[in-house]
Structures are given as C-alpha cells and as structure tokens.
Amino acid sequence: MDRANLPIILDLPQIERRLENVDLIGLMEGAFAAFSRGEAVVPVPGELLFDDPPGEVHLKYGYIRGGETYVVKIASGFWNNPQRGLSSSDGLLLVFRKETGELTAVLNDRGRLTDLRTAAAGAVAAKHLAPNEVDTIGVLGSGIQAELQVQLLQTVRPCRRIAVWGRNPERVSLYAQKMRDKDFLVDVVHSPSEVAARSRLIVTATASPKPLLQWEDIRPGTHITAIGADSADKQELDRSIIYNADLVVTDSRSQARSRGELGHAYGADDLAMSKVAEIGEIIEAKAQGRSAPNQITVSTFSGLAVQDIVMASAVLGRS
C-alpha cells in the first residue's frame, strides 16, 4: 500500500491536543440539529452485555449525508474496572472514506471522545431545559460522567455546589474529594430522594437496573438529565416521572423506543412517543424548551452515532 494512503493513527494525547480549542457544546448542538433534520444516517446501535464481570460494549456507526466519511465506534463500560485502577470506559473510533470504504483513521481515544460528547450533550440539555438559576447540582453516581457532566455544566449553568449520592460509599468519597480538589463544594447525601430535595438540576449517571428517583421526589422547577439508561436493561427514573413531567426530551425518538427511560415508559406507543421532543428540534426552534419557571423537564439520551461522527470530524478537521 502506498504510504501516503496509510490510515492516520492517533492516540489519546494527540486527540486531546486536537480538541483543545473545540466548542464541544456547540459541536453537539450541531450534531443533534443535523440528526433531527434527517441529515444523518444512523442505524440501530449494536450491543454486547456481560454479567461476570458486569459490563457492556456498544457499537455505533453512521454518516452525515454530503460528508466524506463514515464512522464506526466501539465503546465499552466495565463497572469493576476502578477497583483495578482502570477507567470504567474504553473504546476507539474507525473512520472510513465513504467513496471507497478505505480506512482513513484510527482514533484510539480509550473512550475519551464518548465521555466528552456525552457530557457535552448533558450541557446542551441544561442550556435549553434547566432553570436559569441553579444553586445546587444534584448527582446520582460517582463515575467519569458524574465528574464531566458537572464540569461542562459550568459553561451553561455555573454552580459550584454538588449534592451527590452513590451506592458505593468508597467511590462516592473519592468522587467528593476529587471534585473538592477542583474547587467544588460537595455534600454527600444518603439517598436519591435527598439529592432531589436539594437540587433543581439533577444528573443521573448510573448503570442502575431499577428506578432511583420517584415522581414524589421531584421539586417544581426541576430539570433532570438522565444519561445512564442507554440500554434496555437500565432504568434510573420511575415511569411516573416520564408520565407527569411537563416536558420530556430525547436525542432520538426512534432509538428511544427500545432502551432506557422512554423504552420502559412508552415502548412502541406511537401516540405517547410523538409527544416527546427531540433536542435537535428544540435547538432548531421547531419545538419549545422550558417555557415556565415551575416546569419539570426531563432529558433522557441514549447517545447517537452522529455525536461520534462530528467528534471524529473535529479531531481530523474534515467532514
């Protein structure tokens, strides 16, 4: 093979340098808008689920019409990894030339691009749906998303106080210290309901198989960003929250039918699902975001390949 046609191989430090000046939140807004305009070809994700040790692998892939490439992403999450001194997430992106199918780039990001684009999506949701003033950010979970979601929220809803709950006291303690080292004020609380009692912006970032929050826990004016339930076996919110919230928003109605909060609440109920807005429609002003201070709003995202596509394009500087 001609050396000039060999694929580019980038490791994590190289990828992070290329992302230093990228507006991740603006990038995600553009991705969601393109998806809701029908410009992205994004098939149903593939996934592998493991019991021992507990973990999962997601495969997401697609392209943007008019672009030069298509992207295949493999991303994993293994929940016992922190006990081994490893990140719970890993993965890479493969970028191919759409005209010929040639491999053009391997982005060996170790899951970092997925982590960043997921956190940026949470910030996009808060930008359009959260109350204007936030005095405490509530967090369920103690992993990488519990960190990154709060950090990226600072650009859209600045707030230095965190109320956090997690199942594993040791991990929560480590999380609290890590965030305090970043100048956050952190209160570790005893239950998800206590998080809700203290917060009007809540991020749920767990792999819970059963609901952690109930409708009666939620205060008027609260926004919930639910990002943990990205497969059919997970659920962080009781169905009553989805049924009763003033506004429920997802990244993809079609993808949401088979996974996460909307899969549990509505499944194949077309009429109910038609009342759920896509975040891309809100960005495009084709649907309305928060319209009153006391509204309870929920964003429940399972992650779209279009997010990975634009992340790869940002790293490579091409379409």
Question: Could you identify the residue written with the tokens 């609290």?
Answer: 176
Residue-level pLDDT at 28:
98
pLDDT at 94 over 90: yes
Q: Is pLDDT of 318 > 90? A: no
The per-residue pLDDT for 306 is: 97
Residue 319 has a pLDDT of 44
Residue 185 pLDDT more than 70? yes
Yes or no: say if 199 and 140 are a contact pair by the CB < 8 Å rule.
no
169: pLDDT strictly greater than 60: yes
Inter-residue contact 63 to 69 (CB < 8 Å): yes
Region 232-260: mean pLDDT is 92
State the pLDDT confidence band at 126, using cuts at 50, 70 and 90: very high
Q: Where are the beta strands (DSSP E) in the chain?
A: 8-11, 40-41, 46-50, 55-64, 69-78, 89-97, 103-108, 137-140, 161-165, 185-188, 201-204, 223-226, 247-250, 277-278, 297-300
Identify the residue whose tokens are 């359009």.
Answer: 128
Q: What is the pLDDT of residue 85?
A: 86
Confidence of residue 2 (pLDDT cuts 50, 70, 90): low
Q: Rounded to whole angstroms, how far apart are CA atoms 140 and 234?
A: 14
Mean pLDDT computed over every residue of the chain: 94
Query: What are the tens digits of pLDDT across the range 282-297?
Result: 999 999 999 999 999 9
Find the mean pLDDT for residues 227-253.
Answer: 92
Give pLDDT, residue 6.
Answer: 87
pTM of the model as a whole: 0.93
Mean pLDDT over residues 234-255, rounded? 95
Model confidence pLDDT, tens digit, residues 51-60: 999 999 999 9
Residue 1 has pLDDT above 50, yes or no: no
Q: What is the dihedral of CA 7, 9, 10, 12, to 10 degrees?
A: 140
Phi-psi region of 203 (alpha: psi -120 to 50; beta: other; left: phi over 0): beta
Contact 69, 95 (CB under 8 A): yes
